[in-house]
């Protein structure tokens, strides 16, 4: 268990990286909040409507540098901006109310909270129900499901690359992180393969590097892979490479 000071430093660092990326997005005005879930076993990240992004302690143990962390955060920011996270929560609420929620969720605390939650103009109203947000965070795994659709995952990757480039990070590091995990199949068949995701990232970066417009062109050689601060390493502990499927649970 982290001390209060160590947890605060870790949270501040993750928020600094995350908010820098969020300011590059089409929705910089959202009240972006980034947090760390005390889960050392799973390599997970999740996003929720209104600008909430969370990563597990286990995920932080699997990143080698700040650019890799930025890639994960940018991917979740993209899901929020593209309203994938909003659609996912509304979908879970509707399916739960119909009694068609996935096995293991129908009788859960989170599912019960969702069933009783209010919708505002057809959207899940989390701003007025902070208790529900807390239950969602606590029930990360319960809400994992099969993730977003394949096209949504690729769209989130594409926007994430643009956010990383705008912030000066090397998307190749995000691609490298994806390569250290299995990116699809099994229970997570909606996720594209790591190879497909890496191919898209490479194409976007190459296109930006060769853009005829000097204002849109990216100097790939100048992209950064900042080292993680000592306070981060001390807080998360030894590096643990992710095994199995990389799950961004929404």
Closest of 250, 237, 59 to residue 142, by C-alpha: 250
Q: Which helix (H) or strand (E) holds 247?
A: strand 247-248
Q: Within a domain: residue 105?
A: no
Q: Within a domain: residue 53?
A: yes
pLDDT at 123 over 50: no
Q: Within a domain: residue 32?
A: yes
8-12, 57-61, 176-180, 189-193: which range is least confident on average? 189-193
How many whole angstroms separate alpha carbon 153 and alpha carbon 190?
A: 9
Q: Which residue has the higher pLDDT, 226 or 86?
A: 226
Domain that holds residue 223: 4-84+145-248
CA-CA distances (angstroms) from residue 23 to 17, 30, 77, 81, 246?
10, 9, 10, 12, 26
Backbone angles phi, psi at 221, to 5 degrees: -65, -20
Q: Within a domain: residue 13?
A: yes
**CA angle centred on 16, ends 12 and 17, rounded to 5°:** 125
Long-range contacts of 149-153 (CB under 8 A, 24+ apart): 149/190, 150/190, 150/191, 150/192, 152/79, 152/82, 152/84, 153/190, 153/191, 153/192, 153/197
Beta-carbon contacts of 101 under 8 Å, excluding residues fewer than 6 positions away, are: 92, 95, 111
Q: Within a domain: residue 68?
A: yes
CA-CA distances (angstroms) from residue 131 to 1, 9, 113, 135, 229?
24, 25, 9, 6, 33
Number of domains in the chain: 1
Q: What is the pTM of this model?
A: 0.77
How many whole angstroms separate alpha carbon 126 and alpha carbon 200?
A: 33
Closest of 15, 87, 77 to residue 46, by C-alpha: 77
Closest of 191, 202, 171, 176 to residue 245, by C-alpha: 191
Q: Within a domain: residue 92?
A: no
Q: Within a domain: residue 106?
A: no
User: How many residues in the chain?
Assistant: 250
Q: Which residue has the higher pLDDT, 4 or 16?
A: 16
Place of tokens 């390599």: 43
pLDDT at 169 over 60: yes
Radius of gyration of the chain (CA): 18
Q: Within a domain: residue 181?
A: yes
**23-43 pLDDT per residue, tens:** 999 999 998 999 998 888 888
Angle (deg, nearest 10), helices 150-167 and 84-97: 150
Confidence (pLDDT) at 171: 98
């Amino acid at each position: 268990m982290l001390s209060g000071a160590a947890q605060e430093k870790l949270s501040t660092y993750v928020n600094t990286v995350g908010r820098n990326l969020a300011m590059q997005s089409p929705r910089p005005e959202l009240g972006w909040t980034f947090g760390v879930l005390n889960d050392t076993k799973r390599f997970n990240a999740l996003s929720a409507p209104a600008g909430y992004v969370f990563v597990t302690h286990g995920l932080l143990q699997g990143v080698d540098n700040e650019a890799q962390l930025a890639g994960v955060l940018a991917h979740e920011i993209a899901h929020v901006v593209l309203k994938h996270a909003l659609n996912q929560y509304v979908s879970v609420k509707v399916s739960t109310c119909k009694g068609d929620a996935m096995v293991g969720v129908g009788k859960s605390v989170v599912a019960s909270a969702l069933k009783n939650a209010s919708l505002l103009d057809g959207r899940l109203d989390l701003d007025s129900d902070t208790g529900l947000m807390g239950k969602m965070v606590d029930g990360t795994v319960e809400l994992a499901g099969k993730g977003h659709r394949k096209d949504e995952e690729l769209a989130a990757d594409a926007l994430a690359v643009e956010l990383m480039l705008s912030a000066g990070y090397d998307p190749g590091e995000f691609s490298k992180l994806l390569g250290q995990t299995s990116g699809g199949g099994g229970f997570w068949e909606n996720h594209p393969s790591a190879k497909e995701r890496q191919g898209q990232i490479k194409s976007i970066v190459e296109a930006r590097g060769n853009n005829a417009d000097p204002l849109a062109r990216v100097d790939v050689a100048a992209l950064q892979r900042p080292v993680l601060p000592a306070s981060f390493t001390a807080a998360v502990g030894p590096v643990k490479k992710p095994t199995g499927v990389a799950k961004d649970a929404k």
